[in-house]
């Protein structure tokens, strides 16, 4: 029998047929062998179901697609926040040029610390990028594994209902409602 | 040794936030002639047109890394003499050794503070009296 990773579902069926044929034999030694083969068969079936569940929890072919999107959104959000912090710091620096020397020195010193601390965005961005790459690598390996095991025996988890269905955390930018959208739902006029 | 505030500095980093931080810290040091790029190849082409007096570059960039940019700068007769400071989160010993072998002038690990930046700039650009 030629068995490659691409033919594992066939191999599993073949194993089940061997078990059936062994059971039909009258040899007294068959029980141990049947027990071992049955264990292997059950184990393969359970593994296929678990891998099927992993595939089913992702959207389409991307197992961790939404997770990677969430992480990349963190990078975008922190960049936006860091730039707003620096906008404010630059404004303070401008004010520092117009006050007495002692106050100016104190303000400039504080602004320097703000610039230094703003590098958190670069550091966290690089770390998150590493995590995204690791997820993409895991996704690729799991796709190969899932392909080898075939689609099988998977019941997708029931979608959340009631209040639990409303707990999704912060929305990604492309799927989020703006404050104006929400105000429109309430019939409010956007704040001036 | 003092700081030459009139020097032209070229900064390279793929994070705009870090470019802005560097530019602001350099401005606080009264270094105002600052050019920048977000990738190594663009930086190299711009530097060929107008060679700076100091290069400050990130390491982890794509498609050209800071290390590749450093090697390219050191191989280019018009640029090879320019002090090159690597500012990076890559802090393993082997990284520092590789950068030294490629001819880096100094090395700053992120996150860094303004005083470290000033001290490294002074150390690579000053001529001892």
The predicted model gives A95-122 an average pLDDT of: 94
Q: What is the mean pLDDT of residues A132-156?
A: 74
The answer to whether residue B18 sits within a structural domain is yes
| B56 is a domain residue | yes
Contacts of B45 (CB under 8 A, 6+ apart): none
Interface of chain B against chain A, CB under 8 Å? 13, 15-18, 20-21, 24-25, 28, 60, 89, 110-114
Sheet holding B54-57, edge to edge: B33-37, B8-12, B54-57, B84-88, B106-109
Least CB-CB distance to B24: which of A86, A117, A125?
A: A86
Q: What is the mean pLDDT of residues B21-39?
A: 96
**C-beta of residue B55 within 8 angstroms of C-beta of residue B41:** no
Query: DSSP 3-state assignment of B108?
Result: strand
Q: What is the pTM of this model?
A: 0.74
Decide if B129 is inside a domain. Answer: no
The pair phi, psi for residue A17, each rounded to 5°, is -70, -40
Query: The domain containing residue B28 runs over which residues?
Result: 8-124
- For residues A42 and A39, give the distance between their C-alpha atoms in angstroms, rounded to a whole number: 5
Q: Could you tell me which residues come within 8 angstroms of residue B39 by beta carbon, excluding any fewer than 6 positions away? A: B12, B14, B61, B62, B63, B64
Q: Quick one: what percent of chain A has pLDDT higher than 70?
A: 82
Residues of A in contact with B20 (CB under 8 A): 83, 86, 118
Set of chain B residues whose Cβ sits within 8 Å of the Cβ of A111: 28
ipTM: 0.85
Q: What is the pLDDT of residue B20?
A: 95
In a domain, B1, yes or no: no
Asked whether the predicted pLDDT for residue B113 surpasses 60, the reply is: yes
Number of domains present in the structure of chain B: 1
* Rounded alpha-carbon distances, angstroms, from residue B11 to A93, A119, A153, B24, B64: 22, 15, 56, 12, 15
Mind listing the pLDDT tens digit for each residue in B52-99? Answer: 999 999 999 989 999 999 999 999 999 999 999 999 988 888 899 999
CATH for B71: 3.40.50.2300
B110 CB neighbours in chain A (<8 A) are 119, 122-123
* Residue among A115, A117, A125, A132 with most chain B CBs within 10 A, to mutate: A115
Question: What SS3 state is found at B84?
Answer: strand
Instruction: Give the start-to-end residue ranges of the domains of chain A.
Output: 5-186
Using CA coordinates, name the residue in chain B closest to A85: B17
Burial class (CB in 10 A: 0-12, 13-18, 19+), A49: middle
Q: Is residue B3 part of a domain?
A: no
User: Domain for residue B99, yes or no?
Assistant: yes
* B29/B62 Cα distance (integer angstroms): 29
The pLDDT of residue A45 is 79
Q: Are B45 and B81 in contact (CB under 8 A)?
A: no
Asked if residue B61 is part of any domain, the answer here is yes
Of the candidates A89, A108, A121, the beta carbon closest to that of B17 is on: A121
Contact criterion met (CB below 8 Å) for B43 and B69? yes
C-alpha to C-alpha distance for B99 and B97, rounded to whole angstroms: 5
Phi-psi region of A162 (alpha: psi -120 to 50; beta: other; left: phi over 0): left
In a domain, B41, yes or no: yes
Query: Which pLDDT tens digit goes with each residue over A148-189?
Result: 766 555 566 677 887 777 777 777 777 777 778 877 877 765
Is the per-residue pLDDT at A7 higher than 60? no
């Amino acid at each position: 029998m030629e068995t490659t990773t691409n033919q594992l579902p066939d191999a599993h069926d073949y194993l089940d047929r061997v078990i059936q044929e062994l059971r039909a034999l009258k040899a007294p030694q068959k029980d141990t062998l049947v027990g071992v083969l049955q264990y292997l068969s059950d184990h393969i079936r359970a593994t296929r179901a678990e891998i099927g569940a992993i595939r089913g929890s992702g959207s389409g072919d991307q197992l961790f697609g939404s997770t990677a999107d969430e992480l990349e959104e963190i990078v975008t959000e922190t960049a936006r926040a860091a730039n707003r912090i620096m906008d404010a710091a630059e404004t303070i620096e401008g004010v520092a040029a117009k006050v007495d020397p002692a106050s100016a020195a104190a303000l400039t010193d504080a602004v320097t610390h703000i610039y230094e601390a703003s590098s958190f965005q670069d550091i966290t961005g690089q770390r998150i990028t590493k995590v995204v790459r690791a997820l993409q690598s895991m996704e690729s390996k799991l796709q190969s594994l899932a392909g080898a095991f075939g689609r099988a025996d998977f019941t997708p988890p029931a979608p959340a209902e009631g209040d639990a269905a409303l707990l999704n955390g912060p929305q990604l930018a492309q799927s989020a409602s703006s404050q104006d959208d929400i105000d429109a739902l309430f019939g409010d006029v956007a704040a001036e | 040794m003092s700081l030459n505030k009139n020097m032209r500095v070229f900064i390279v980093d793929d994070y705009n936030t870090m470019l802005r931080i560097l530019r602001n810290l350099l401005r606080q040091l009264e270094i105002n002639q600052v050019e920048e790029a977000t990738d190594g190849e663009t930086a190299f082409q711009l530097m060929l047109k107008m060679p700076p007096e100091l290069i400050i570059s990130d390491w982890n960039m794509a498609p050209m890394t800071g290390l590749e940019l450093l090697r390219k700068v050191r191989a280019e007769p018009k640029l090879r003499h320019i002090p090159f400071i690597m500012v990076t989160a890559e802090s393993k010993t082997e990284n520092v050794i590789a950068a030294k072998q490629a001819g880096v002038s100094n090395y700053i690990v992120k996150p860094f503070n303004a005083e470290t930046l000033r001290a490294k700039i002074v150390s690579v650009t000053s001529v001892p009296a």
